[in-house]
Structure 1
Amino acid sequence: MKKTYLMTLLALFIGLNSFAQGYGSLLKETPGVVSYTYRTQLAKDMPGTLDEIKSHGITNMEFSNLFKQTSQYIREQLDMRGMRCTSYGTGYKNLEEDIETVIKDAKTLGAKFVRIAWVPHTGPMTIELAEQTVKDFNTFGKKLKENGLTFCYHNHGYEFAPYKNGTYFDYIVQNTNPKYVSFEMDILWVFHPGQDPAALLLKYPKRFKLMHVKDLKKGVEGDLSGSTPITNDVALGTGQLDLPAILKAAKKTKIENFYIEDENPKSHEQVPQSLAYLKSL
């Protein structure tokens, strides 16, 4: 009887502990945040801004800018607060022209992933551009993998122009080497050009490793431009995206890190609202 009682208590403790480690029912832990969300504040006062971010319970960050600091300085500031950088965002040209510096900075930050969010272009996506993109991505990814890093491409809307029986995004996914190229889904930039983020996650469940969690203001119509006013970013759960469906689909993928990204100038007010919404799911 005593043994049964103790086993019951142990099971209850494990269950409560597991629940405490989760974040609502759809996330395993508190989501991270993209540095761009706090770009103005980080540029002015990085230590104070990291303190603010940590006060929300956020310890995981994706840095897409070094804010005129060194990667070593940022790493020290994160370490002091028990925070971490899991992904480092850089530019296409940086990978073309100085990939060694990107590798050095990513490793110094402690990041596992290196991602880019834009393919240079001057007009609508074309097959010629898509073919060159595939070639470059495979080259970037191979070099990064040789250095213990994983390359990710963050979609930005324009890749969803139709091509044959799918889109140029389909072409890029299907023609890049999965050993070298993974993807970060920005759910707003899947929805804005008219696609279904949940369906796309389930179409390529092994290719997505990261996610930007965002919401789009109600009433905003999308297009293939890859651009929308930053004030169209709204607190999670107040916009157009079906976040429960997207996050349920994400549980069936290989996504390792979820980051809130909010480009709105009021992001510092909206992030706490977004966190509360995610926890309520």
Structure 2
Amino acid sequence: MTNRRDFLRTAAVLAAGSAFAPSLISCGENKKIIGLQLYTVRDKITAGLNPTLEKLAQIGYNSLEAAGYNMNDGTFYGMAPDAFANLTKSLGMTLHSTHTVYELDAAEKVSEDAAKAGVEYLIYPYLPDNLRQHLDDYKATAEKFNKMGEIAQKYGLKFGYHNHAFEFDKMDSQIPFDLLIEQTDPALVTFEVDLYWVTRGGYDPVEYIRKYPGRFELWHVKDMVKSEDQFFAPVGQGRIDFERIFAEKETAGMKYFFVEQDRFRDLDPFESVELSFNYLNQAKFV
């Protein structure tokens, strides 16, 4: 007899496939898949979800990563998981991934709701301060991530972790980010490499991709201004050499990438994400 988990896994695969098909049919086989992490436009979403999504679709984005899941009621931006996914699909944008900070006691519920939304990836986006005081904290986190990955897999999802810069601060002569990668099972845990934060942490994304091939299925494509303050910049407007990094996408095992910009200084968020989209859409290396 088909159990609930089997049903959800099948539904997730069908939802992802049906959501992806319209963009291929309407835009042709050579259409680039260019994603956006919705945290980038969080203030715009607060002012109006539908107008924000419509604007992103108008710009040309066709792939999304959510950052508005509410664990208390199981909604995405106040909508039932399938309703939100259907809304983005109706605008030509596939919901491929979602960010959620949660612990093991909520793993079943979070995975179930993510499966209802039809996403492929469930990403743990940030490690709170109290979970990264010592190297043993990172070892415990790696063990926890393996368990979370196992639970996510039951629902047809791939679990992953998104880095910042603090994972590159050495502890006991070891880089915690290396520990997380080396002590997690590649079959259960992937990594969403944030190109800006790796650079901000003092390391080269290309070197990490080559050091750990196949472990970076998702990317956050984010740029850094050329001035000393290292503020965020629209993609292609800063110092990061994306052509060099994208040359390693097969080595990384990259499946999707998402534009993200944490904060803005001179431009409206819509103006900035449009600059990022235009740069990537015109780039021959993408």
TM-score by length of 1: 0.81
- Are 1:184 and 2:187 an aligned pair? no
Q: Give the counterpart letter for 2:250 in structure 1.
A: K
Tell me by how many angstroms 1:50 deviates.
1.2
Distance 1:201 1:125 in 2: 26
CA distance in structure 2 between the aligned counterparts of 1:176 and 1:123, rounded to whole angstroms: 16
Match of 1:199 among 193, 207, 210: 207
Within the candidate set 130, 136, 155, 1:128 is matched to: 136
What amino acid maps onto 2:52 in structure 1?
T
- Contact 2:61–2:277 at 8 Å: present in 1 too? no
**Aligned-partner SS, 2:98:** strand
Deviation at 1:30, TM superposition (A): 3.3
Question: What's the counterpart of residue 63 of structure 1?
Answer: 66
Q: Is 1:274 matched up with 2:282?
A: no
Contact 1:95-1:102 at 8 Å conserved across structures: no
Question: What does 1:135-174 correspond to in 2, within 5 Å?
Answer: 135-163=143-171, 166-174=174-182
Q: Percent of aligned positions with the same letter in both sequences?
A: 27
Looking at CA atoms only, which structure, 1 or 2, has the larger radius of gyration?
Answer: 1
Superposed CA deviations along residues 246-275 of structure 1, whole A, max 9, x for unmatched, are 111223321100100112343211111112
User: Letter of the aligned partner of 1:31 in structure 2?
Assistant: I
1:45 partner letter:
G
Query: Which ranges of structure 2 fall in alignment gaps of 5 or more residues?
Result: 1-27, 69-75
How far apart, CA to CA, are the structure 1 residues paired with 2:221 and 2:193? Answer: 9
The Cα shift of 1:71 comes to: 1.7
Give the aligned CA root-mean-square deviation in angstroms.
2.2
Query: Is the contact between residue 146 and residue 189 of structure 2 (CA under 8 Å) also seen in structure 1?
Result: yes
- Measure, in 1, the Cα distance between the counterparts of 2:113 and 2:232: 29
CA 1:280/1:52 → structure 2, altered by over 3 Å: closer, same or farther? Answer: same
Instruction: Summarize the alignment of residues 228-267 of structure 1 with structure 2, pairs less than 5 Å apart.
Output: 232-265=231-264, 266-267=268-269
Judge which range, 239-248 or 165-174, deviates more: 165-174
Assess if the C-alpha contact under 8 Å between 1:71 and 1:108 holds in 2. yes
Instruction: Select 2:95's aligned residue among 81, 85, 88.
Output: 85
Sort the Cα spacing of 1:122 and 1:101 in 2 relative to 1 into closer, same or farther, 3 A.
closer
- Distance between the aligned counterparts of 1:204 and 1:123, measured in 2? 24
Indicate the larger mover: 181-190 or 98-107: 98-107
Alignment partner for residue 75 of structure 1, among 85, 88, 93?
85
Q: Which amino acid aligns with 2:197?
A: W
CA–CA separation in structure 2 for the residues paired with 1:22 and 1:112: 22
Count of aligned residue pairs for this structure pair:
248
Match of 1:7 in 2: none
